[in-house]
Amino acid sequence: MRYFPLFVDLDKADVLVVGGGEEAARKVRLLIKTGARITVIAERLGLELDQRRRDGELLHIARRPTPADLDGQRLIYAATGDRELEAALFRAARARGIPINVVDTPELSTFITPAIVDRDPVVVAIGTEGAAPVLAREIKTRLESWLPANLGALARRALSLRNLVASRVPNAAARRRLWERLLGGAFRRAVLGGEADAARRILIAELADANAPLVGRVALIGCGPGDPDLLTLKALQRLQEADVLVVDRLVDARILDYARRDAERIFVGKTPGGPATVQAEINRMLVAAARAGKVVVRLKGGDPLIFGRAAEELAALAAAGIAVEIVPGITAAQACAARLRLPLTVRERVRQLSLVTGATADGTPDLDWGALTSPTAAAAIYMGIANAPLLRHNLLAAGVPGDTTVIIVENGTTAKERTVTTSLSDLTHAIAELRIAGPAVLFVGLDWQAAQLEQPAGVELYRRRPLGQRPPITADITVRAETQP
């Protein structure tokens, strides 16, 4: 982020606009909404600015500007087309510490004007750092269609109630929850609908209950395998409500940007072979925070109900009498397959898909290997990289053909995503030689050819080289204990 967004108070502030044409007029149109004292310096004014001068909306000085004209100004806009003059204005403004914008010239500007959605006093500013104004306009158009035209009335009503609410509800957390209910529920609808009496009755009822003891709750949210765009709408809503975030290791850091900035963040990820927060301690944290009346959001990679230890946390919270909501996420098998256009079932060919874990708490992936041998069955193996030699050994021993396709997706849906296709026989060598570390999903028994599709570009093909041309690989089938992300 090069440009830091700020809102500047221009009420009764002096603002200078240099130029009298259409570009200058566009800036004046925005500035007039602020209550600024506007001075325009230009040898000649266009029709719009001249009419505004006659209406008393601005002061016109009919000459070229001098450095002294910048003194005392809060902001400066320059739209003359004279680059030599604008460069001189830029140097003079920078020497005085006054922000200046030279229209369409970022190198001579210390601030830029965003696209604006105006629902006074609600204002949305959209910036692209000058890179793509058309994109900013698209976002503005979508917001204009989404935000009610009279949304400002709700904000003004909230402003009028600020002192009353502060005096009646001294607890900050209770006050925030009251505002969430007022601005997101029946009170909001009544105000926007012009129903003043109904809004007053709702307000009285809400104030009467606002100081009741806070009741905490927990939401278990599935964040998907990485890509923030895969979050559900409900997950976004709960992130905005959270007082406390309890975050797993595999949750993409960008997802935290959707949460309230003042929410407490507790990181409890378990690193393979490294530091780990034991599950009992995570359970204790969730219970303690909810008992303190806080809204707790437990962020998990993938889906909470698929190898996410949700059962243990649900049981601990139920025993403590704490309300829990589960917000599903897109599990890695679905997300990775979708990115690769890899069907998880194929009519008459793949009728059964098993989601299995390649590791367990005691280290032994004790699976029903025979159930995975059917020619119409496929499997997505989670957390299988460390125990890949054992998985390969047991699948071959159960009768799965050695030439069965295995697709390895490492860091799926992230910028580091890597996909390798190999055979079950070559699986151990592929992981070792290509240094695949995970997190990864192994698809066994799925391929594009079976679905009559083309393999996507960028997928790596691994086949073992002849014995004399490859480094030795130790067929280590040591069982590795599960390290839940």
Active site residues: 248, 270
Please give the helix or strand (H or E) that residue 32 lies within, else none. Answer: helix 22-32
Burial of 132 (0-12, 13-18, 19+ CB in 10 A): exposed
Cβ contacts of 472 within 8 Å, gap of 6 or more: none
Cβ contacts of 465 within 8 Å, gap of 6 or more: none
Measured CA angle at 84 (ends 44, 81), to 5 deg: 45
Distance of CA 445 to the CA centre of its chain: 34
Beta strands 440-444 and 405-410, pairing class = antiparallel
- Candidates 357, 367, 361, 363; CA nearest to 439 is 357
DSSP 63: S
Q: Compute the distance between CA of residue 5 and CA of residue 111 in angstroms, rounded to an integer.
A: 9
Amino acid 343 reads P
3-state secondary structure of 55: coil
Beta strands 460-461 and 418-423, pairing class = parallel
**DSSP result, 316-376:** HHHHTT-EEEEE----HHHHHHHHHT--S-BTTTB-EEEEEES--TTS-----GGGG--TT
Q: 99 with 6: CB under 8 angstroms?
A: no
CA contacts within 13 A on the Cβ side of 404: 24
Sign of CA dihedral 459, 405, 304, 328: positive
Cα–Cα distance list, 130 to 3, 65, 78, 99 (Å): 10, 26, 16, 16
DSSP 108: G
Cβ contacts of 325 within 8 Å, gap of 6 or more: 217, 218, 219, 220, 238
DSSP 36: -
Q: Compute the distance between CA of residue 330 and CA of residue 344 in angstroms, rounded to an integer.
A: 14
Q: Compute the distance between CA of residue 305 and CA of residue 64 in angstroms, rounded to an integer.
A: 70
Tokens of 473: 């690989």
